[in-house]
Structures are given as C-alpha cells and as structure tokens.
Chains A and B, each alone.
Chain A
Amino acid sequence: MATLRINGQARDIGNLDPSTPLLWVLRDELGLVGTKYGCGIAQCGACTVHLNGAPVRSCQIPVGNLTNEEITTVEGLAAADGTLTALQQAWIDHDVPQCGYCQAGQLMSATALLRNNPNPSDADIDAAMSGNICRCATYTRIRRAIKSVSTNRTAFYDASAQGDRV
C-alpha cells in the first residue's frame, strides 16, 4: 500500500495504477481539488504543485514514480491555523482572479519563485510565470501582486493612475 507525503501529512493512496498522474490522485483519490486539469500535456500550468519545493506539472508525474518526495498543493500554502501567505493575501488584495481556474497553478509558480528569489526582476517573473496560462489574462495583476510582496517593491504598475472614483 503506497503512501504520499502531501502538505506535511502522510496520505494513503491504496493500490493505484502506478501510471496515474499525480494530478488525478490529488483530485479523485484525496479530494484535493484545488489543483486543476487544463491540458494534460504540461502546456498550461493549471496543475502546478511543488515537489520538494520546486514547481512541477502534476499531470506529468506518474504516481508510481513518487516515493519520499514532499508534495505541496495550493491547499497546503496557508498555515495550519488558516493564516494566508503574503502572496495569497496579495492575490486577494490586488483582486487577481477573474474566473480563477488557473490561479492555484499561478500561485504555486509564484510562491516557488519568491522562495528562491525574494526580489525578482521583471525578467525573473517572466521566466518563472511563462508556463502558466491565464485565459482571462490577469497577467498585469499577477505581476503587480508578485511585486507587492517582493522585498524591493519596484512599481511595475501605477495603480494610482487607474481612475478610482472614490
């Protein structure tokens, strides 16, 4: 009987077909539906999770290949008491989501970026986020949210120019 370490907990997955992508194990077997299916070929990034801290496309990882890796999903970002990460809070405050379907994957990519590089340049952000499609095109707000929690909050975007009425 196989076990995975997900969001700091050991999760029993029974005797699953080892070819099953991690994505579907998370969604169908473990009820962690925050990770999304978008394309199945690592093109869209909606299924991004962390494997030992690095962002990976869970649609491409057969569960049989996993042994002792530490897996983190969007459900595991916040603290156990529900306290959000600064990036999650920035996503809310900058009102990033439109439909929201891609945003778990976006957050996982951005979280990994900032963990390794707390002060990313525009080029760093481009490189880290280019694997995640947002069909609603919330890209300007994704940039702004990432910048807002980076240590050197360079203004990419001047929110004061955006015509607040009140």
Chain B
Amino acid sequence: MNTKVTPSQLSQVDAFFEDALSRQAAPQAPVLPPLNRRQFFKLSGIAGGGLVLGGLSAGVTSKAAAAQAPADLSTLSPYVQIKADGRINIFSKNPECGQGIRTGLPLIIAEELDCAWSDVDVVQADIDQKKYGTQFAGGSTSTPTNWMPMRQAGATARAMILAAAAKQLKIDVAQLSTANSKVLHAASSREWPYSQFAELAATMPVPEANTLTLKTREQFSLLGKRYTGVDNHAIVTGKPLFGADTVLPNMVYASYTKSPQIGGLATSFNEAHIKSLPGVIDAFILEPFAEPRGFLSAAGQGAMFGGVAIVASSTWAAIKAKRELEVNWDLSKAETGTWDDLVARARAAVDQDGPMEVVNKGDVAGAMQSAAKVVSAVYEYPYISHAQLEPETTTALYTDGKIEVWAPSQMPQNGEAGLVAIMKVTPENSIMHQTRIGGGFGRKLANDYVFEAAAIARRMEGRPVKLQWTREDSMTHDYYRPGGLHSYKGALDGQGNLTAWQDHFFSHTLDGKAPMFASELSPTVFPQDVLSNVKVTQTLFQNAMPVGPMRAPSSNAFGFTFQSFLHELAVAAGKDHLQFLLGVLGEPRLANPEGRGSMHTGRARNVISAVAERAGWGKQMPPNRALGLSFYFSHSGYVAQVADVEVNAAKEVKVHKIWAVADFGFIHNMSAAESQLEGGMIDGLSQLFNAKITFNNGVIQQQNFHQYPLLRLPFAPQLDTHFLQPDEFPPTGAGEPSVPPLLAAVTNAIFNATGERIRKLPLSELGYKLV
C-alpha cells in the first residue's frame, strides 16, 4: 500500500464535520421558514401543535416554557415566539451535552432581538432539518457555525416587531428603537412591550437577510458577560432532563448483551432459563446490521452489533437477568487484536519509514545529513474510553411502520437517517427527540445504542422500550480513542534552529487501505505546517477495534507527542522552551494559506507569550519543582498552558497550578467558556495519569471505574484561565481545544523538575502517582 495524501486535503475528522455541516443553512441564507408557514399561530387549545418539546418528559426546565399550558402565542419564526404576557420563547436547535449550547445559542438570538434575558424561556427545538439546518454537537462547531444565523434570527424577529409597531402606532419606523423587550419612541418618551405588537409582527413580511442591521460589538448589551445555565434549576432539583429519564405509558425495560470479543455473533443462549426469571417479558437474539466496527456507519447508517436482548418489567429485572445470561458466540469473524502485540510490532519498525506517505516536502534527508544535531524519540499512547457518566440509553416506540425515539444523541439527524436504514421506515416515519445528554465527549456521535433500542422495540411493537446499557456495556463497547505510536526525528542546525521533521506514525485500519476514524494524521498539524522539510509516513495495523471521535479527536494524542518532542528539541538545542517555540512559529502569518482553518502563527504566539507572562515563566522555582509549557491549535482554537509541578523521590506528582490562555475569538458567555477550558484541562490530567484501555484477542480488559479511574475532586489543581479576545475574530468553539496541550504541559514540567522524559502514557504505568 502506498497512498499519497496531498497537504491541502482535509483530515478525515475535519472532512466528517465539514460533511455534517454542509447541511447547515449557509450563514447568509434566510433563517425563516417559507411564506406559508409565516402566519400567526394561535396555539390556545392545541397544546403541542406547534410548540414542539424535546420529548414527553425531557427538555422541560425552569426557563423552558413547556410546563405551562400554551397561552396566546405569536410565532415569528422557528426560533422566536412571543406570548401575550410578555414572555419570549427562544428555541435552541442543537443537542446539549454540557457545553452550554442551550444557553449560548438563545443568548445570541436574544442579543439581536434586543430583549431582556430574564424574559426568555428556552425551548428545545425538535429535529427538523428544514427549519434548523444541521443540528449536532461535535467538532466545537455549534457556536461558530451558528453565530451568524442566530444573530440574523434575532435581528429578523426584531425587525418584524418594529415593522408591526410602526404600522400599529402609525409612527415612522425610523423614529422607533428597541431595548429590553420594549419598543421605544424617543420623541414622545413612550415605550411598549414587544408583546403588544407580537400578533401583528407574526404576519409581517420577513425581511431579507441583507436588509438586517446587526449590532456592533460595542452595542452588545447581553453578550460577553457571565450567564448561568438555563437548566441549572432543573438539574439541582432533579427534574427529568436526560435520556433515561424518559417515561412513557406502558413502557418496558431492556438490556442488551454483545460479544465480549468484539464482533462475535450470538448463535444461541439459555433462553428458557432467562425467560423463566422474574420480570422477564421476552428475550431474543438480534442480528448485526451494516458495519458496526466503523464509526461512520454507527453514526448514521443504522449499524449495530448483534447480541441478546432481554425485555423486562423493570431496569433491575433486565440487568439481573443479563447477569445470568449464557451465550454461545460465533467468533469466526470477531476481532483478534491484542494491544501489547501491536505495540511490539510497532517498536520493531520505528527505525523504518511506514508504507503510507502522509506528507513529504523539502529535503528531509539532506537536512538530517547536514544537521548539527539529530534528535529521535518514540512516543506511545493507549486506547482510551469516553467514560461519559451517563451510560448509553434510548427509549423507542415502534408502531405501524413508524419509529419514534427519545435519545441523548450528539448527532440526532444522522440517527434519524440510520433508523430509516435499519428499520426500513420512510424518512417521515423516523422521528428522534432530543433529550439532554449526560456527557458525550464524542461517544454519542455514534448512534449504535439508538439503533439497538429501535431494533428491540420492533420486536415489542406497540410498547415503548427503554434500553439501558450498564457501565460495563459502555466501557467494553465504546468507539475508543485509538492508541498509537510516533517515531520522531528532528534536525537542528548549528544555531539550534529546527530544520527538518520526520515522523513514522502507527495506527489502525478496518479495510486494509484507509486509516480508521481518528487514526490518521493531518499533514497540517503544527509544526509540520510551518517547516520546509517534513516527511511523515504511516503504518496501518489491520486492527478494527471500534474507534471514533473523542473530545479533540487525534489532537488529544498529538498534543502530547508533538509538544513533548518539540520540548526535547528545545532542550537539545540548548534553548529556552518559550523562545524555541516562538522561533519555530516564526513571523505572524497564516501557516497554511491555501488550507481552510489554517493556524495563524501570530495568534499562536500571543497565547503562548500571554500564558508565559501570567505564569511567571523563567522565575526561580523550589527544588524538585518546575514549570512546563505546551501549546496546541485545534478546532480553530489556540490554547497555551503552563503547569507548575512538583515531583518527589517516590514519583508522587503534585500539580500545584495550571495556567491557560486561550484565543477562541469573542467569548459570548464567559461562564460557559471558562467551564469548558477548566473541564478540558482536568480531563487531560485524568487521561495523563490513569486512562488506559487494553484488549487481548479482541476483548476489552476494563469493565468499570475501578479499572479505569477518572480524576476525582481532591486531585483537581488550581486553575488560572484567561481569554484573549482579539476584536476582529468571531467566536470559535471552546469544548475541545483545551484538552490537547495539557498532557505535555505537565510532562514537560516533570522533565524540567526531574530530567525524566515521559514518552509513554499513562503515567500510572511508569510508577507516577498524582497526589
């Protein structure tokens, strides 16, 4: 195999999200429905008729309008309704998985609508491509791709209210202005609530997008401050919000058991015994569908693994019966990979090039030959699991050729498409409702558990089925962050400048040709993008343990390896790490001018310089204690971090503090952005010390949190977060870019404190312990 990837080609991960986003309404496209929908909806007495809720029991919050009976209500657009009592419903289109989007997107609409935030009730939009474009939570794209459409949605509704007010009051629209959900007439010092014009506004022509006047940043009255989540009250009072909180009349409960050796097929099981157990209603084998080892088919093609379903009268009865299940598995087509074997094979080949060329530019061999110093190192990181706290769950009802599901899915539109494939229903009869997601981190971009619930519901036609995965199901049947190895070589000239970069990357393939999802290396990862002499090759192991996107896919591993090796080079060059990094970045410019989403080296330099200043880079440190620096650019976001780390002789590591400076453009909700930055840093620390999934002969070895520990509160370090907000840049996503730099910031600090270079994860396997 010898595949050439051109530098301009998008990475598989980027391409995937681009494809998902291609269905997004273009930023300049009208954000309102066609004319025939633009009419005044009097919703009194037709509860639910136009007021679509996120499930029967989910999506209802203190700030959500759902709980109350619809009062007189004027619908200005799919995003904005105004009630007679002055309350304003703003619809939130995308799935909420903790990133704060149910607060963030409605805030943007509210800003341009010029309403008081305290007047707003947030309603979860149902899945509707025509109304809302792409609805998904991934790639840190929700905020940047919706920034303009949401502003236009707010400005459109405001313009319709103003037009209605002008008509109703018989005052020239130019004499009217708005503020705090009110129309103002300065000349007469009069003001009226929006609700007074709402009924007429809903009948006004929808203005063209190019006629809208959007606010300047200085005119923002809402955006840029701190906002608490709209669902906080419902969360702290235990209201039903999440997938498994869905309750339907006559509902039954299901467990589903798949082959411990990935890809095994159930041929028979102790059916009579299982069916004799208390509470068990039915038990049956489900056949696999499509190619469930591939993330993309598990996301949107209905793919699911075969297994044994148990349907019972309660979750406990279904789980208890599952424990007594004895299944005969046909393992002839199951996975047989063993992680330790793959590592050994890779380590035997680290001195060679890989058969697949990822990038080859300049004259690497020449630069290596004429180098003053050549540095080489091999880095290794394991598979890791998403371990989101809410195990996979879906409630499904199949009746008469129609499938309806209530699911915590990061990609519900793909879920609906997948249901069409696996359930053989028409697209109109594939209906997915959004519930709050109890943690996604990329796991719930795959919809395999949704398809399983639907397939079980088909067998139980007419009865709603709630499928609940156990923690063990979740940990042993994930779409993992793939493990990998990098064999690096770097050339330094006599002045300590980095003149060439070489990498042999080891990862995985399903089809023997292309890397699996998140198992590839984009040609534009820094510093490949800024150097002239670069050669990157890849070896693909035929190993189809399921892998998929996990918070900052690829970057979450590359941040560790690339930024550690850059530090190794700085040390070999005898240069200060900060100065070396700034030197490699060079002058402020687009690193890859032809490519979309290119890093700007100036913005990179700014976050690095700022974090160094905040942390006091270069200051005298106590013995056994040092600062470590790292930087990574991903998802259009720039994050630099400095960790203050102390290591004692027993290899106990105390992380005293971590500073982070991020450039995500304009921050419209400071609280949510800070939460994402802090959460991502601690997520990275958790991965660094403890996270490792292994497999032997295709069987995942870790079952639950005692074998896969997550970081707990006592170990959370002090965090200092700061955002640069350059005026000219709109917001980018904050969910992912905070993770990648963290690991190397800490391991570089460990090197600076002890002289020991960390080239393998997790640290617990090297005798280190976080204290």
The residues of A with any CB-CB pair to B shorter than 8 Å are 17, 19-21, 24, 27-29, 31-41, 43-44, 46, 73-75, 77-78, 84, 88, 91-93, 95-104, 107, 125-127, 129-143, 157, 161-166
Q: Are B226 and A103 in contact (CB under 8 A)?
A: no
Additional A-B contact list (14), CB under 8 Å, known A133-B712, A137-B679: A17-B279, A19-B316, A24-B315, A28-B315, A31-B247, A32-B238, A33-B244, A41-B705, A92-B228, A135-B387, A141-B678, A163-B670, A164-B670, A166-B225
Instruction: Kindly report which residue of chain A lies nearest to residue B681, judged by CB atoms.
Output: A137
Chain B residues within 8 Å of A141, by CB: 675, 678
Chain A residues within 8 Å of B721, by CB: 162-163
Instruction: Kindly report which residue of chain A lies nearest to residue B472, judged by CB atoms.
Output: A40
B564 within 8 A of A: no
6 A–B contact pairs at CB < 8 A? A34-B238, A97-B229, A99-B438, A126-B714, A130-B714, A137-B681
From B94-102, B116-124, B156-164, give the one contacting chain A.
B94-102
Q: Are B315 and A27 in contact (CB under 8 A)?
A: yes
Q: Are A136 and B439 in contact (CB under 8 A)?
A: yes
Instruction: Kindly report which residue of chain A lies nearest to residue B386, judged by CB atoms.
Output: A135
From B9-17, B299-307, B388-396, B566-574, give the one contacting chain A.
B388-396
Alpha-carbon separation in the docked complex, A74 to B241 (Å)? 14
In chain B, positions 456-497 with a C-beta closer than 8 Å to chain A are 468, 470-471
B769 within 8 A of A: no
B54 within 8 A of A: no
Q: In the complex, which of the residues B235, B245, B436, B686 has the most CB atoms of chain A within 10 Å of its own CB atom?
A: B235
Q: In the complex, which of the residues A75, A77, A162 has the most CB atoms of chain B within 10 Å of its own CB atom?
A: A162
Chain A residues within 8 Å of B224, by CB: 165-166
Chain B residues within 8 Å of A37, by CB: 244, 315, 391, 468
Q: Which of A34, A38, A78, A99 contacts B97 (CB 8 A)?
A: A99
The residues of B with any CB-CB pair to A shorter than 8 Å are 97-100, 224-229, 231-233, 235-242, 244-245, 247, 253, 278-279, 314-317, 319-320, 387-391, 436-441, 468, 470-471, 667, 670-672, 674-676, 678-683, 686, 704-706, 710-714, 716, 718-723, 725
Q: Are A77 and B237 in contact (CB under 8 A)?
A: yes
Q: Which of A84, A96, A137 contacts B237 (CB 8 A)?
A: A84
Q: Are B679 and A19 in contact (CB under 8 A)?
A: no
Q: Which of B226, B320, B711 contacts A19 (CB 8 A)?
A: B320
Q: Are A139 and B317 in contact (CB under 8 A)?
A: no
Q: Are A17 and B239 in contact (CB under 8 A)?
A: no
Q: In the complex, which of the residues B240, B244, B440, B675 has the most CB atoms of chain A within 10 Å of its own CB atom?
A: B675
Contacts known (A33-B240, A33-B247, A100-B241); A133 close to B225, Cβ less than 8 A: no
Chain A residues within 8 Å of B720, by CB: 161
Min distance, Cβ A63 to any Cβ of chain B, angstroms: 9
Q: Are B316 and A17 in contact (CB under 8 A)?
A: yes
Chain B residues within 8 Å of A140, by CB: 678, 716, 718-719
Min distance, Cβ B679 to any Cβ of chain A, angstroms: 4
Chain A residues within 8 Å of B471, by CB: 38-41, 44
Q: Are A74 and B236 in contact (CB under 8 A)?
A: yes
The 8 closest A-B pairs by CB, nearest first: A34-B238, A99-B98, A101-B438, A137-B682, A98-B98, A74-B238, A139-B716, A126-B714
Q: Are A38 and B238 in contact (CB under 8 A)?
A: no
Alpha-carbon separation in the docked complex, A73 to B238 (Å)? 9
Chain B residues within 8 Å of A24, by CB: 314-316
Alpha-carbon separation in the docked complex, A24 to B316 (Å)? 6
Q: Are A36 and B390 in contact (CB under 8 A)?
A: yes
Q: Are B237 and A78 in contact (CB under 8 A)?
A: yes
Q: In the complex, which of the residues B236, B319, B437 has the most CB atoms of chain A within 10 Å of its own CB atom?
A: B236
Chain A residues within 8 Å of B470, by CB: 40
Chain A residues within 8 Å of B722, by CB: 163
Q: In the complex, which of the residues A17, A102, A137 has the most CB atoms of chain B within 10 Å of its own CB atom?
A: A137
Q: In the complex, which of the residues A92, A135, A140 has the most CB atoms of chain B within 10 Å of its own CB atom?
A: A135
Min distance, Cβ A41 to any Cβ of chain B, angstroms: 6
Min distance, Cβ B284 to any Cβ of chain A, angstroms: 22
Chain B residues within 8 Å of A166, by CB: 224-225
Q: In the complex, which of the residues A99, A102, A127, A141 has the most CB atoms of chain B within 10 Å of its own CB atom?
A: A99
Min distance, Cβ B471 to any Cβ of chain A, angstroms: 4
Instruction: Kindly report which residue of chain B lies nearest to residue A20, judged by CB atoms.
Output: B316
Q: In the complex, which of the residues B242, B439, B680 has the most CB atoms of chain A within 10 Å of its own CB atom?
A: B439
Q: Which of A95, A104, A125, A127 contacts B228 (CB 8 A)?
A: A95
Q: Are B314 and A20 in contact (CB under 8 A)?
A: yes
Q: Are B320 and A137 in contact (CB under 8 A)?
A: no
Q: In the complex, which of the residues B388, B681, B716 has the most CB atoms of chain A within 10 Å of its own CB atom?
A: B716
Chain A residues within 8 Å of B468, by CB: 37
Q: Are A137 and B678 in contact (CB under 8 A)?
A: yes
Q: Which of B226, B238, B670 contacts A75 (CB 8 A)?
A: B238
Instruction: Kindly report which residue of chain A lies nearest to residue B253, judged by CB atoms.
Output: A28
Instruction: Kindly report which residue of chain A lies nearest to residue B475, judged by CB atoms.
Output: A39
Min distance, Cβ B453 to any Cβ of chain A, angstroms: 16
Q: Are A34 and B237 in contact (CB under 8 A)?
A: yes
Q: Which of A29, A129, A164 contacts B713 (CB 8 A)?
A: A129
Chain B residues within 8 Å of A131, by CB: 712
Contacts known (A74-B237, A97-B235); A43 close to B315, Cβ less than 8 A: no
Chain B residues within 8 Å of A138, by CB: 675, 678-679
Chain A residues within 8 Å of B389, by CB: 36, 38, 44, 46, 99, 101-102, 133-135
Alpha-carbon separation in the docked complex, A104 to B225 (Å)? 27
Min distance, Cβ B383 to any Cβ of chain A, angstroms: 18
Contacts known (A100-B235, A140-B716, A140-B719); A165 close to B667, Cβ less than 8 A: yes
Alpha-carbon separation in the docked complex, A91 to B238 (Å)? 13
